[in-house]
Structure 1
């Protein structure tokens, strides 16, 4: 199927889209008011969190996408209710609130999902974006990683997984946010995309950047996050960022990658590949995006319609061959974009 994917994308992708939407319904019935994190394929049950962690926006995001695709009022209400439960993250000290608020809260308006008047989501998303912008560190040239997940405030930490989501959220929220987003991206691009190998995490000591051990060098999901941020920057900030994105895509986007490129014998990470599909589609590289999407659907879509073979954290041995909520989200988004159901830059 991969070799013929570009010519027949609508037929097989539409079928896959239906299976993924069925999975959303099954997950919804299982998790209730909690947030899914990862599912063990041997047990077909979700590990969940009460507040959503950094991944909560991807569950609300699936519900927003379902509401847009089905047009059902009940689905819109379910998405809005889930988004409302993410509101406290607007004040959490973490740059990953960009992921949470963009994909999980602002997405309803961006997708044009009609919701009741009491379920507005633009205002809390914009307020959260402003609070995030105010954390910008001029000396470091970025928004620090933050302390919400146990990391210190000093030294300042830069992690590449704090760029995607954050960039479009800040740009959408206003001109001052866009200025911070541009510097945030530039700093991470300089730090994390060296020709000698991607380094996803750094800390600032005595005015200079020093690499951190975790996440490890060659972390493929970190590469995917940066590629997605560049694709969004080409839309929100400057078309010139597309050139950087295409250069990195030639280096990184070649089939489903191992979770850590320095460990090619380790497990794959399909969630990284799904993020890359969306980035490639946004960069206008439809043929490459379609081929990678076909590989995911053909080789990794589970019997219940989830994206299997995702790796959450190889170093700690957490959910290394699992269905991951963000993998499911980006698979659903990729299918919606490449079937022409939603515009590539809606979210």
Structure 2
């Protein structure tokens, strides 16, 4: 169900408003109010979640499901708090963001390529030496995990199941995290995923390495998975800016979806939509310099799916498992807030 955006929620009484900053010429009039609403929602979420990490919230009540160990999505929560700190300029918001980033450290030793998502997005917007050190340690861990035979940083065993997997959601975050300390690893990791996932036929977002038998496609996530396109498009956009040898033209041409909020699974066009995929795509478009297309997509999100109190609804976490299929997702909120922060001049598109 779409929710009309009626402007930003009221700030909590104990959070003073920052003096308004100039909005760049050409920024849509709805961008700044929508960003304020999202970041006010982040303050309310922080009060509810405490030292835990929010994952997804019920569309009716807004109550969050949280985790104490950050999971693969913990970096998006820390990143959202850093956006709020930049927006308000308040020391209390900056301290809260720094604490959240610090709590990501328990995932450094986790055997998972999603350390790219966790530690890139959880540190890129930070301005502390501690966050920079955490990012460097995570990059070293990902570089050490790289396997030159299959040519990827493996999916890993942290979530159970086979370790030697290549999945589309293991590329974003990992590419910018490795681009400076290990550009050859970042490039190999991206190229192998593009070769596998795009192939010559239908998209396949997950592959298992079987030694002499090579790469074997897997059916989960399905080929119609909305975030498969979005995650790879984001990784290509980052690589185009950070890796000298990356030419984005061909993969962008194949990955770019229509400028609407996509179904969570293209094979189920009448099923749930996935606003989080659209938000990721909008950020990728801004990084690629395709601003008008990004604005079209963001307009649809803000006016069709963002509530007055800053909740981006209709995100689909896992349609196959029936998990959080029409919910507020922490990564959807982060990427929408980041895209709006770019439009309003709060951040550069390549900061994170």
TM-score, with structure 1 as normaliser: 0.91
**Residues 86 and 346 of structure 2 are in contact (CA less than 8 Å); yes or no, is this contact kept in structure 1?**
no
The residue number in structure 2 matching 1:273 is: 278
Picking from 186, 200, 205, the partner of 2:191 is 186
* Stretches (4+) displaced over 2 A: 7-10, 194-197, 238-242
- The match for 2:141 is 131
Is 2:179 aligned against 1:171?
A: yes
* Residue 71 of structure 1: how far off its partner (Å): 1.8
Match of 1:213 in 2: 219
How far 1:303 sits from its partner (Å)?
A: 3.1
Contact 1:246 1:283 in 2 (8 A): no
SS of aligned partner of 1:121 = helix
Distance apart, 1:108 and its partner CA: 0.5
CA distance in 1: counterparts of 2:312 and 2:63, whole angstroms: 14
> Would you say how many aligned residue pairs link Structure 1 and Structure 2?
329
Shift of 1:245: 4.6
Q: 2:83 aligns with which of 38, 46, 65?
A: 65
State how far apart, in whole Å, the 1-side matches of 2:126 and 2:284 are. Answer: 20
* 16 and 106 in structure 1: CA distance in 2 versus 1, 3 angstrom threshold: closer
Contact 1:232 1:282 in 2 (8 A): yes
- Cα separation, 2, equivalents of 1:277 and 1:196: 25
Residue 306 in 1 paired to residue 311 in 2? yes
> d(CA) in 1 for partners of 2:258 and 2:247?
17
User: Aligned residue for 2:66?
Assistant: 48
Does the residue aligned with 1:9 lie in a helix, a strand or coil?
coil
Residue 27 of structure 1: which of 45, 49, 69 is its match? 45
What does residue 244 of structure 2 align with? 238
**Per-residue deviation, 1:132:** 1.0
Q: Any gaps of 5 or more consecutive residues in structure 2?
A: 5-24
Distance in 1 between residues matched to 2:284 and 2:148, nearest whole Å: 28
Summarize deviations over 1:218-240 as a string: whole Å, max 9, x none: 21101100000000000100374
> What is the Cα deviation at residue 19 of structure 1?
0.8
Do the aligned partners of 2:77 and 2:334 also contact (CA within 8 Å) in 1? Answer: yes
**Offset from partner CA, 1:205-259 (integer Å, 9 cap, x none):** 2341111111111211011000000000001003743313531354x24311111
Deviations 1:246-283 (A, max 9, x none): 31354x24311111112212111000000000000000
Distance in 2 separating the partners of 1:241 and 1:275: 20
Distance 1:150 1:249, change over 3 A: closer
Give the Cα–Cα distance (whole angstroms) in 2 for the partners of residues 195 and 52 of structure 1. 36
Q: Which has the larger share of helix?
A: 1
Which whole-Å CA distance do the structure 2 matches of 1:321 and 1:58 have between them?
19
Aligned position for 1:112: none
- Does the Cα contact within 8 Å between 1:36 and 1:46 map onto a contact in 2? yes
- Secondary structure of the corresponding residue to residue 48 of structure 1: strand
Q: Write the distance in 1 (CA, Å) between the matches of 2:261 and 2:203.
A: 17
In structure 1, the partner of 2:92 is 74
Partner residue in 2 for 1:13: 31
- Where in structure 2 are the equivalents of 1:223-302 lying within 5 Å? 223-238=229-244, 240-250=246-256, 252-302=257-307
Which residue does the alignment assign to 2:14?
A: none
Contact in 1 for aligned 2:259/2:296 (Cα 8 Å): no
Q: Which runs of 5+ in 1 are unaligned?
A: 2-6, 110-114
Pairwise CA distance, 1:196: 2.8
